Amino acid sequence: MSTSADGIRVRCKLNYPGFDLEIDLAMPGKGVTALFGPSGSGKTSCLRVIAGLQHSTQAYVAINDEVWQDDARQWFVPVHQRALGYVFQDANLFTHLSVANNLAYGKSRVAQSQRRVSLDRAVSLLGIGHLMDRQSGTLSGGERQRVAIARALATSPRILLMDEPLAALDRARKAEILPFLENLHIELGIPVLYVTHALDEVARLADHLVLLDGGRVTASGLAAELMTRLDLPLAHGDTAGAIVTATVVSHAPIDHLTTTHFPGGTLIVPAINTKIGQTLRIRVQARDVSLTLTHQTGTSILNILQVTVTMVSPDAPGQVMVALEAGGCPLLARITQRSADALQLAPGMALYAQIKGVAILG
């Protein structure tokens, strides 16, 4: 069944002993949408409903112009007929098969006439060409997940569902695979629904963000906006921070620094291997931002931005979170209540934000 609407629509109700899931979501039909929340909030259940693996009542599931479920019309597309790729926390590869044969299995599930993603392209994007002859059981965790993603892409999906794909990996393996995930939806134009409870993955990957708690949607919108909204728990605590989209303007190889520009000014960050003119996402954590009434000189701080206070909210005992705006871009600063009182912070106040270059995360 087709529809003229664009975007992803999911409406469903699930009832378990001690837990109810009731959501009604409209999400973009492109880019990466992260479903974020604590364990047991309903993230995985939502993915399973979309995939058709979990039957719910009063359900409606549409991916851009195609309806996969509409209980009001008694319409249900079986799982095997839904053009989706599903990547789990465990790669679930056939360990007795080579990487090439694992990928061939994914490709075989799609008729020639319905193939929209080139297997060679998927292999190239995920950097696994050198692994094709390896037995899957001999791969590292990061390599297994990259092969699992390539196998999901080999099915030529209209949407990619990813259920905490990095949760079982250590920090080094996560750092290895994140750049590949960043490029996937850009290169292939396939919408991604990404389940996670890791804020660093949201900051690195998500365009749109859905917050879930207790089986209900608490907020949905642009990731950069939701991460800095002081009425949401995401913008509080030691992990709070802002996402800045900036353009690379120069590199200083001797100093191992990269200079970027965004509407709020210039940010100098640890060297990033990117081309001049390329855009990138920078995470500025609230705990790394200090505030001053005047532009400082004779300081080791590389980044000093003119900002305006938009809101001040209590945080941990004796601390406050300050919402700021720099050229229309939101930032956060986490400071002590004593400092906020000394500066006499109030909405509309103009001052300067200071950010150490080594503290900024690319």
pLDDT tens across 119-172, in order? 788 888 888 999 999 998 898 888 899 999 888 888 888 899 999 998 888 888
CA distances from 264 to 167, 226, 306 (A): 34, 19, 8
Same domain flag for 13 and 127:
yes
**Domain with 270 in it: what CATH number?**
2.40.50.100
What tens digit of pLDDT does each residue of 258-302 get?
A: 999 999 999 999 998 889 999 989 999 999 999 999 999 999 999
Same domain flag for 303 and 341:
yes
**Domain with 44 in it: what CATH number?**
3.40.50.300
- Among residues 226, 251, 277, which one ends one of the domains? 226
Average pLDDT over residues 83-94: 88
- 3 part of a folded domain: no
- What is the enclosing helix (H) or strand (E) of 219? strand 216-222
Identify which of 357, 351, 337, 199 has the alpha carbon closest to the alpha carbon of residue 288: 357
Same domain flag for 38 and 184:
yes
Same domain flag for 323 and 194:
no
Cβ neighbors of 179 (< 8 A, separation 6 or more) are none
Same domain flag for 186 and 280:
no
pTM score: 0.89
- 233 part of a folded domain: no
Q: How confident is the model at residue 26, as a pLDDT?
A: 95
Confidence band of 50 (pLDDT split at 50, 70, 90)? very high
Q: How confident is the model at residue 163, as a pLDDT?
A: 94
Report whether pLDDT(224) > 70.
yes
Same domain flag for 96 and 222:
yes
- 98 part of a folded domain: yes
Q: How confident is the model at residue 176, as a pLDDT?
A: 83
Same domain flag for 220 and 254:
no
User: From start to end of 40-148, where are the E strands?
Assistant: 57-63, 66-70, 75-76, 84-87
| Residues of the domain holding 273 | 241-359
User: What mean pLDDT value characterizes the chain?
Assistant: 90
Same domain flag for 281 and 196:
no
Confidence band of 322 (pLDDT split at 50, 70, 90)? very high
Q: How confident is the model at residue 358, as a pLDDT?
A: 83
- 1 part of a folded domain: no
Same domain flag for 132 and 267:
no
Confidence band of 115 (pLDDT split at 50, 70, 90)? low
User: Identity (one letter) of the amino acid at 76?
Assistant: F
What tens digit of pLDDT does each residue of 298-308 get?
A: 999 999 999 99
Q: Count helices and strands (H / E) in the chain.
A: 8, 20
Cβ neighbors of 359 (< 8 A, separation 6 or more) are 284, 285, 288
Same domain flag for 245 and 221:
no
Q: Specify the number of domains making up the chain.
A: 2
C-alpha count within 13 angstroms, C-beta hemisphere, residue 283: 17
Q: Residue 174 is encoded by which pair of tokens?
A: 């996560």
Report whether pLDDT(36) > 90.
yes
Same domain flag for 222 and 122:
yes
Residue listed under structure tokens 């150490």: 356
Q: Does residue 109 or residue 234 have the better pLDDT? A: 234
- 24 part of a folded domain: yes
